[in-house]
C-alpha cells in the first residue's frame, strides 16, 4: 500500500509538471482511478472468495505496479488514463483481499491487534516514501525515476504476495 500514499501526494505535481496537464485534467485522471476502484472492490471480494487470496492480491499489486510505471513514462492525458484505470482496479481489488487474508491467515478473534501491528509497521514506510519520492524528484528534476523505482518496489511486493502461504494453525493441547 506504499503506492497509495505516494500517488496521492505526488500525482498532481507529476502530471502538471512532468506531463504538462492542467489541474482540471489531473482531477479527471484521479477521479477515473477512484471510480475504477469502486466496482473493483466488489470484484476483489468475489475473486478473493473463489481464488487463492495470495494470487488475487499479487495480481492486484501487479496492476498497481504497472500503473505506476505507466505514470512514470506518461507524456499525455491518454497515457495518464493508462495509469488511472489499472491503478484504480488494483487498489480496489487489493482492499477486500487484504482484509480477508488477515482474518484467514491470523484468525478473526484478534483482528484489532493484528491490524494495529500491521499499521504500526507499515506507517513509517507510508510516511517516509512520499518524502523520499519528492527528494528523488527534486534531485532529478523529474518524477520519472522516482516512479520507476516505486513501480519496482511495488512489483517486489507483488512477488512477496504471490509467495504468501497461509500459516498452519497451532495444535490444540
Cα–Cα distance between 35 and 14 in angstroms, integer? 20
Task: Please write down the HEC assignment for all residues of the chain.
Answer: CHHHHHHHHHHHHHHHHHHCCCHHHHHHHHHHHHHHHHHHHHHHHHHHHHCCHHHHHHHHHHHHHHHHHHHHHCCCHHHHHHHHHHHHHHHHHHHHHHHHHHHHHHCCCCHHHHHHHHHHHHHHHHHHHHHHHHHHHHHHCCCHHHHHHHHHHHHHHHHHHHHCCCCCCCCCC
Q: What is the pLDDT of residues 66-116, one digit of tens each?
A: 999 999 999 999 999 999 999 999 999 999 999 888 888 887 777 888 888
Confidence band for 19, pLDDT divided at 50, 70 and 90: very high
Look up the pTM and report it: 0.90
Q: What is the pLDDT of residues 39-61, one digit of tens each?
A: 999 999 999 999 999 999 999 99
CATH fold of 2-163: Growth Hormone; Chain: A; (1.20.1250)
For residue 32, how far is the Cα from the chain centroid? 15
User: Any idea where the domains of the chain sit in the sequence?
Assistant: 2-163
Return the residue matching grid coordinates 507529476: 14
Amino acid at each position: 500500500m506504499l503506492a497509495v500514499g505516494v500517488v496521492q501526494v505526488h500525482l498532481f505535481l507529476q502530471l502538471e509538471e512532468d506531463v504538462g496537464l492542467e489541474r482540471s485534467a489531473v482531477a479527471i485522471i484521479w477521479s477515473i482511478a477512484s471510480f475504477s476502484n469502486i466496482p473493483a472492490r466488489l470484484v476483489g471480494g468475489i475473486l478473493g472468495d473463489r481464488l487463492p487470496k495470495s494470487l488475487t492480491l499479487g495480481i492486484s499489486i501487479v496492476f498497481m505496479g504497472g500503473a505506476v510505471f505507466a505514470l512514470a513514462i506518461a507524456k499525455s492525458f491518454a497515457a495518464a488514463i493508462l495509469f488511472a484505470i489499472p491503478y484504480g482496479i488494483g487498489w480496489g481489488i487489493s482492499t477486500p483481499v487484504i482484509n480477508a487474508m488477515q482474518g484467514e491467515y491470523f484468525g478473526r478473534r484478534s483482528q484489532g491487534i493484528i491490524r494495529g501491528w500491521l499499521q504500526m509497521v507499515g506507517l513509517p514506510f507510508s510516511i517516509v516514501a512520499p518524502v523520499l519520492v519528492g527528494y528523488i524528484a527534486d534531485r532529478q528534476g523529474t518524477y520519472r525515476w522516482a516512479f520507476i523505482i516505486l513501480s519496482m518496489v511495488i512489483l517486489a511486493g507483488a512477488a512477496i504476495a504471490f509467495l504468501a502461504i497461509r500459516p498452519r494453525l497451532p495444535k490444540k493441547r
